[in-house]
Homo-oligomer: A and B are copies of this chain.
Amino acid sequence: MVRFRSTYEHNIDSKGRLAIPAKMRAAGDLGPGSELIAAVFLDNCIKLFPVGEWEKLEDDLLSLDSSDPAVREATRKVIGSSQELELDGQARVVLSKALLDYANLSASSLALVVGVGSHMEVWNPETYQASGGSRSNEDLFGLVMSNRKASPAPLSVNLSYGPSAS
């Protein structure tokens, strides 16, 4: 199973390109020609998934009851906002303007690349700072631990996009 960790500062160049940190390339077995899926939902950051991980999530979405307009809307938003990105010869991806806008990023700016287990997240440093302002580390960790006790079962995926957001 794929496990991305750590945080890196990387520049987005004038063409909107972002180099995948070498450690993450190693962790995800990514090289020139590999594909990543970029998606924007929940949190103001760009989420980068290996194709396999992303397809699991897509499968879940596509198996829902599509007679429900809200399900169709969610599917459309999540899958419709995703993009396939191919790594160039220098292991970089091009982030489209739409993606950058969503995360308050732009070409020729600094970004944080955060490893979050199954995927990576690309943040505007200021947005990242601000998003964590409301809760202390202790609070957050306490929440995670109590969840673990309450439902020992399948916390794997849920934590990644989980209900804790609500």
- Which residues of A are at the interface with B, using a C-beta cutoff of 8 A? 3-7, 23, 37, 41-43, 55, 58, 60-84, 98, 114-118, 121, 131-132, 135, 137-138, 140-148, 151, 154-155, 158-166
| B143:A74 contact, CB within 8 angstroms | yes
Which residue of B37, B60, B77, B82 is within 8 Å of A137 (Cβ)?
A: B77
- Taking CB atoms, residues of chain B closer than 8 Å to A78 are 140-141, 144
Chain copies in complex: 2
| A61:B144 contact, CB within 8 angstroms | yes
* CA gap between A121 and B135 in the complex, in Å: 23
Q: State how many angstroms separate the Cβ of A38 from the closest Cβ of chain B.
A: 9
| B41:A147 contact, CB within 8 angstroms | no
